[in-house]
Amino acid sequence: MNELDNLRKELNRNTNKEKAINYQKYFKNSKDDIFLGISAPIIRKIAKEFYQLKKRDILILMKSKVHDEHSIANVVLCNQFKKLDDEGKTKIFHFYIKNRRYIRDWNSVDGSAPYIVGPYLIHRDKKLLYQLARSNRIWDRRIAIVSTLHFIRQGHLTDTLKLAILLLDDQEDLIHKAVGWMLREVGKKDIFVLKKFINKNHQKMPRTMLRYAIERFSPDERKPYLIKQRGKNHKS
């Protein structure tokens, strides 16, 4: 039995049918997936055991219709990226970008892009992120903005703000949530930068994006923005 078979055996051993039913409710874009109902801590634990999984096997898992299998593929990739030298990190990054079409839910994006794409690009050309932000594919656009979580944590806020502007007119709620989340993270680093952005753009922002972005504002600070938004929506 090879490593991939052993990993799948371990996943099946941890199947939880009750949790599988509940998890399906959170992944409306993954309705064709099969859920085993394995919790995130158990996925991370199994991923550590199979840290040295070959890329060909990781790709098989990424393509899988089993949600838990493509989830663990991303965790294994992140674990490998973290431990490798620059050359190894470059190979993981290009493997990830080349095969990103198999990353097809918000959980997979959020659990991988800030830990592979963000760290790799932080001191490199960011052109790719702007290309992804203009993609017709929702998960490319989410990768673009969520990757900047790593930039924000390092105090680099400019690209998040520029990408947020590009995505202001996006039609997808999952992008509104992602942009709002990143803007909220910007506020944790520099509240004045966030407030300047909100003051300039709040009337153009989708309501969900705005609510996420100003979540940490006091009720009195939030109220004027939300009232103006209600007025805008009423006129439209």
**pLDDT tens by residue, 102-154:** 998 999 999 999 999 999 999 999 999 999 999 999 999 999 999 999 999 99
228 and 157 share a domain? yes
Residues 37, 52, single domain; the answer is yes
Give the residue-averaged pLDDT of 60-83.
Answer: 96
Using alpha carbons, select from 56, 51, 45, 40 the residue that is nearest to residue 10: 45
Bigger pLDDT: 22 vs 204: 204
Q: Are residues 118 and 148 in the same domain?
A: yes
Do 82 and 122 lie in one domain? The reply is no
| Same domain, yes or no: 121 and 11 | no
pLDDT in tens, 8-25: 999 999 999 988 888 877
Record the pTM. 0.92
72 and 156, same domain (yes or no): no
What domain range is 26 assigned to? 1-110
Structurally, how many domains does the chain consist of?
A: 2
Same domain (yes/no): 76, 146 = no
Domain containing 49 — which CATH number?
1.25.10.90
Q: Is residue 42 located within the same domain as residue 61? A: yes
List the Cα angle 227/152/26 in 5-degree steps.
65
